[in-house]
Amino acid sequence: MRAVVCRQLGPLDTLVIEDQEPPVPGDGQVVVDLRAAGVNFVDGLICQGSYQLKPATPFVPGSEIAGEVSALGTGVTGVEVGDRVIAFVGFGGFAEQAVVPALSLIPVPDTIDFTRAAALIQSYSTMLFTLTRRTHLEPGEWVLVLGAGGGIGLAATDVARALGGRVIAAASSPEKLEAARAMGAEAVIAYEEEDLKTRAREIAGGGVDLVVDPVGGRHSEAALRATRHFGRFCVLGFASGPIASIPLNQVLLNNRTVIGVDWGGWTFKDPLGNRALIEELMGMVGSGRLHPVQPAPYPLEAAAEVMGGLIDRSIAGKAVLVP
């Protein structure tokens, strides 16, 4: 079976495609024939060696998969060959097949195709975790989403809308702003050209209730200043590179709250809680409450190109590899 292999951490163009022995499931494991694997910003950082997690090489990147179960290991119950499933695997997703613990499989509703299913686990789980576990978004609250045309940004917009929130999307390009509008954002701000704080306050009639910030850098402080009294600011990531340093008086003023979000870290601390979260998520997708975007499909050979496109900001929305 073919797999994308990272032999040493570094430039993405050093990734290679290799033929490997077909995997054999061990006790409690299954083999999944992959139909799609979601590509995330963080996958590229890991391969480049610029993420906090530095795996031993060689390894197969790719953390989220969708496909059909093709073989069962010993002791596996409740799973059948042919089941349509998704799983968050950490590594091993950019391949034709993956070995997965049976307990980590989540059934995919028939209403959603494999490409959309593969691309939603990380971004949507993170946003459902953020808006229902780390804070509670109330109906009618204004949410300012930074990087709104990216994976986290579009999921934030969709989940916030499903919970009754009103979304202001901030992004760098007309294409990304349009994607956020199509997802349900009521208003948009081109944050490389417009004054983020002033525009967000104007749109929300004084200030926003909550900020979702996966971008970091210079926009973070402006976004915090755009929050109203008792506003909340959710820190999700630093896609722009610099980790923002914000004067703490801006937290004191207006009784604001800064909320850290580490969905990945929480999944290890509370795997059962995470399973419940993902089942809730798939229920919302299956019932049509959430509308994950149709990702752009690419072959395995394009893994480096796609990860590079997320890192250089040229890709809007989501992308998947289709082996």
Ligand X SMILES: NC(=O)c1ccc[n+]([C@@H]2O[C@H](COP(=O)([O-])OP(=O)(O)OC[C@H]3O[C@@H](n4cnc5c(N)ncnc54)[C@H](OP(=O)(O)O)[C@@H]3O)[C@@H](O)[C@H]2O)c1
Q: Which residues bind ligand X (CB under 6 A)?
A: 40-42, 122-123, 126, 147, 149-153, 171-172, 176, 214-215, 236-241, 261-264, 310-311, 313
What DSSP element (H or E) covers 279?
helix 271-286
Indicate the residue among 224 and 239 with the shorter CB distance to ligand X: 239
User: Please, which residues have CB within 8 angstroms of residue 27's CB and are 6 or more apart in sequence?
Assistant: 73, 74, 75
CB closer to ligand X, 29 vs 240: 240
Instruction: Provide the minimum distance between the beta carbon of 94 and ligand X in the complex, in angstroms, as a whole number.
Output: 16
34/306 with CB nearer ligand X: 306
The CB-of-86 to ligand X minimum distance in angstroms stands at: 16
Tell me the residue nearest to ligand X as measured from the CB.
Answer: 150
Peptide bond into 295 cis (omega under 30): no
d(CA 258, CA 218): 16
Whole-number minimum distance, CB 256 to ligand X, in Å? 19
Cα(192)–Cα(25) distance, rounded to whole angstroms? 49
Nearer to ligand X, 61 or 150 (CB): 150
With H, G, I as helix, E, B as strand and everything else as coil, classify residue 5: strand
Taking the complex as a whole, how short is the minimal distance between the CB of residue 229 and ligand X, in angstroms? Answer: 26
Q: How far is the CB of 147 from ligand X (least distance, A)?
A: 3
98 neighbors 32 (Cβ within 8 angstroms): yes
CB 151 within 8 A of CB 278: no
Closer of 72 and 222 to ligand X (Cβ): 222
Nearest approach in angstroms of CB 129 to ligand X is 7
For residue 157, give the nearest of 180, 134, 188 by alpha carbon.
180
Cβ–Cβ < 8 Å for 29, 315: no
Q: CB nearer to ligand X: give 104 or 123.
A: 123
